[in-house]
Amino acid sequence: MTDRFRTTALFVLQALAGFFLACSASAADLPADFVIDLERLARTKARIEAGDEALRPAVARLKQETAEALRAGPFSVLDKTRVPPSGDKHDYLSLGPYWWPDPAKPDGLPYIRRDGEVNPESEVGTDRGPLSRMASAVETLALHYHLSGDEAAAEHAARLLRVWLLDPATRMNPHLNFGQGIPGRTTGRAEGIIETQCLPGVLDAVRLLRTSPAWTADDQAAMVVWCAAYLDWLRTSEIGRREAAARNNHGTWYDAQVAALAVFVGREDLARQTIEAARRRLAEQIEPVGRQPLELARTKSFGYSLFNLRGWFVLAALGERVGVDLWHYGTADGRSLRKALDFVAPYADPQKRWPYPELKFNRSGLVAIVIPAVAAYGEEPYGKYLDQLPRDEIAANRGNLLYGGRLAAE
């Protein structure tokens, strides 16, 4: 599964779990700490049972990805060829993706930054890619299990989670001290924390697995222990504190991870505190007209504007669970998520040119933003933007299983 789908994992889970409930547990059987909206999922279930043809492309894509996920892994931090500075391969290790050898230096050190240009070296022998693939496979397998009752899928998802996070022989230590290191500059930095932004989706996948005997009480207890330890590291380590202070999308996704982990380990007080405090971050990131200037300064300004907004949507969904409304929050001078959404959504129009730097503009990225926007704010005016986006992208997007469907039926 691609990174693009992984970064919208929360909405994927929201979209599909209702479909899965048709063949396995009812909403009442599932744990109450879900981030996803179970009532909406039940409505999705009814549409599937009624044979809604509009949802067929999304279901077909899920089946294809499930077949791939069943062949994936297991993945372990021990598999990387690079050794962390600690000497312990249980420690997560990655390299800053936008950092390259300095051509003016014989040894290339220290590396220099080329924003938006991924150095292929950063993908070799590190943990970033395997973590992404593990998360994607677990999410897909958990969803397929709830769709079909296929215990083989649940068993493989549980195995992937145990190998990466729980088994003492193979698991990742609950910290990112060596995330996004830069040769010649640092062995690890706060920016590496963005690489665990898959966790909200993984945690909901775990919740779906809890109706299967493949995911045991011991597994659940161990998962809570790991998540509590990682949450503590995020909040108390120097690296974590620096990421918490980040003003751009890194800060948004830090808050999303802290809030998701807090809900999972039973710290709703901390989740609520985190989301309430995020209102200050919103006021710093979004202008009254909806511009996100810190993201617009990037070489991939459109992509990063959407990426930051996805992080906010995760926070808003979490806020619903703990009594904090971010969807409709606004500052006195008009800064809000909706203003940020309204700034980017019109670029669904293929005739409208994005006026900021963008190495590779792709308006299809709006699908994952506009579909949940319709659910949060209503068909008007966001439905018209769906009309302008690629029909096949909407029909096959797994968010379509909850939020859309109508376009594919027309």
Bigger pLDDT: 150 or 405?
A: 150
Instruction: Quote the longest CA-to-CA distance of the chain.
Output: 66
Which 8-state DSSP code applies to residue 358?
Answer: B
Task: Indicate the pLDDT class of residue 400, thresholds 50, 70 and 90.
Answer: low
Calpha distance 246→259 (Å, rounded): 16
Question: Is pLDDT of 238 > 60?
Answer: yes
Query: Per residue in 22-54, pLDDT tens?
Result: 333 444 455 555 566 666 666 666 776 777 777
Amino acid letter, 87:
G
Please state, in angstroms and as integers, the Cα–Cα distance from residue 150 to each residue in 145, 146, 156, 214, 288, following that order.
Answer: 5, 8, 10, 11, 49
Mean pLDDT of the chain: 87
Which 8-state DSSP code applies to residue 330?
Answer: B
Calpha distance 315→326 (Å, rounded): 8
Average pLDDT over residues 11-27: 40
Question: Is pLDDT of 7 > 80?
Answer: no
Task: Indicate the pLDDT class of residue 149, thresholds 50, 70 and 90.
Answer: confident
| Chain position carrying tokens 């700034």 | 343
* 331-336-341 Cα angle (round to 5): 165
Please state, in angstroms and as integers, the Cα–Cα distance from residue 42 to each residue in 129, 249, 354, 405, following that order.
Answer: 34, 32, 38, 15
Q: Is the peptide bond before 381 cis (omega within 30 degrees of 0)?
A: yes
Bigger pLDDT: 1 or 228?
A: 228
Q: What is the pLDDT at residue 23?
A: 36
The number of beta carbons lying within 10 Å of the beta carbon of residue 216 is 13
Amino acid letter, 216:
T
Amino acid letter, 242:
R
Query: Per residue in 104-135, pLDDT tens?
Result: 999 999 999 999 999 999 999 999 999 999 99
What's the residue count for the chain?
410
Calpha distance 60→16 (Å, rounded): 12
- The residues, ordered by sequence, that sit 6+ positions from 231 with a Cβ below 8 Å of its Cβ are 258, 261, 262, 265, 267
- The residues, ordered by sequence, that sit 6+ positions from 387 with a Cβ below 8 Å of its Cβ are 407
Let me know how many helices (H) and strands (E) the chain has, helices first.
19, 4
Least confident piece of the model among 43-52, 281-290, 329-338:
43-52
- The residues, ordered by sequence, that sit 6+ positions from 37 with a Cβ below 8 Å of its Cβ are 14, 317, 320
Question: Is pLDDT of 341 > 50?
Answer: yes
